[in-house]
């Protein structure tokens, strides 16, 4: 998937027994959940403009996936990466 709001995948790795499969992706510094927790500790909040921007990016990424017949199945703040 090549899209500005989707992390680039580098491949797939399988354990020697074949019981676990890992997706290799580019490194991204933050996930949304840990970023929100850090902001909370520091007494900070996203502005409404930030929320609109983040939601627009997320929805564009999901639309791109759906346009290519891909269903994510695990959209949550831990999987929403921020750079």
Give the other-Cβ count within 10 Å of 61's Cβ. 19
Active-site annotation, residues? 74
**3-state DSSP call for residue 66?**
helix
Tell me the per-residue pLDDT of 42-79, one tens digit each, with 9 for 90 and over: 999 999 999 999 999 999 999 999 999 999 999 999 99
pTM, rounded to two decimals: 0.80
What does the DSSP 8-state code read for residue 78? G
Q: How does residue 14 score in pLDDT terms, banded at 50, 70 and 90?
A: very high
Q: What is the pLDDT, as a whole number, of residue 9?
A: 87
How much of the chain, in percent, has pLDDT values that exceed 70? 100
Q: How does residue 34 score in pLDDT terms, banded at 50, 70 and 90?
A: very high
């Amino acid at each position: 998937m090549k899209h500005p709001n989707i992390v680039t995948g580098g491949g797939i790795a399988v354990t020697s027994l074949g019981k676990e499969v890992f997706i290799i992706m580019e490194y991204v510094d933050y996930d949304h959940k840990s970023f929100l927790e850090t902001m909370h500790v520091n007494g900070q909040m996203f502005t409404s403009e930030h929320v609109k921007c983040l939601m627009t990016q997320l929805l564009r990424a999901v639309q791109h996936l759906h346009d290519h017949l891909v269903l994510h199945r695990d959209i949550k703040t831990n999987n929403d990466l921020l750079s």
